[in-house]
Structure 1
């Protein structure tokens, strides 16, 4: 049965990296309301790609691999998680889910940007791609999570 989930629209390649659990932090200028802590969120990949994050790559997946390497992440782990989950780098729909653990302002976080609030996500996993129009801020999405995920 479908359930309403809080959802964030995020540009690629960041949405895919969050869905794979490689990037556990989403950078925002604002903190989430604590009522959302411990809630399962959906990640919506926007139609636009963050061109500044493309690392000169020809594809979103190439750019994501470059970013993982750049921050000192495990590229082999990235490639292993990507197998069978390439759809997480599609644009214009739901690509993953994770639990919002909280919001912090720690400057030393690997994926954290300076002067930004770091939304910390745990238990991330890809979901089958579902086209959906995104919105600004947190928006609610009716979504049915498959039992085998």
Structure 2
């Protein structure tokens, strides 16, 4: 399993507000299409973002798990509803599950490989919920 660090409030919007597209300046490597990933809220906020609601103040923690279903380029952003940016790669997400409790950890740039202890801590939340 891999992880992707996303600045707040975007990570929280993926976990709790039905944001199902991640806007990136770079194309998703084909080997990650269809992959299940951890959504990690970065240590710093996106100071240009305006999104309101709860769960947007968690930093340096895994907040959700999702599947990257595809990646496409969008000139005008309209293909992915209100969350899609102009002139960006849209990584579409599905099967998003917010964690009951965020799991604190440092993130990294790009798609990164979390340690076994982090994966175990995330998976424990799902096994404890059933």
**If the length of structure 2 is used for normalisation, what is the TM-score?**
0.81
Question: How much does 1:21 deviate?
Answer: 5.6
Q: Is 1:119 the equivalent of 2:91?
A: yes
Q: What are the Cα deviations for residues 48-67 of structure 1, in whole angstroms up to 9, with x where unaligned?
A: 011111x3xxxxxxx334xx
What residue ranges of structure 2 are gaps of 5+ in the alignment? none
Distance 1:131 1:21 in 2: 21
Q: What are the Cα deviations for residues 102-129 of structure 1, in whole angstroms up to 9, with x where unaligned?
A: 1012331211111110000001011121
What residue ranges of structure 1 are gaps of 5+ in the alignment? 56-62, 66-81
Q: Could you say which structure has the greater relative contact order, defined with CA pairs below 8 angstroms and 6 or more residues apart?
A: 1
**If the length of structure 1 is used for normalisation, what is the TM-score?**
0.72
Alignment RMSD (CA, Å)? 1.7
> 1:139: which partner in 2?
112
Among 27, 47, 53, the residue aligned to 1:51:
47
Distance 1:20 1:37 in 2: 22
Count residues in correspondence.
Answer: 117
Q: What are the Cα deviations for residues 84-112 of structure 1, in whole angstroms up to 9, with x where unaligned?
A: xx4x6411111111000010123312111
Q: 1:102 to 1:17 in 2, by over 3 A?
A: same
Distance 1:137 1:121 in 2: 16
The aligned runs of 1:1-149 (5 Å cut-off) are 5-20=1-16, 22-53=18-49, 55=50, 63-65=51-53, 86=55, 89-106=57-74, 107-108=77-78, 109-110=80-81, 111-127=83-99, 128-141=101-114, 142=116, 143-144=119-120, 145=123, 146-147=126-127, 148=129
Distance 1:43 1:64 in 2: 19
Give the secondary-structure state (helix, strand or coil) at the position aligned to 2:94: strand
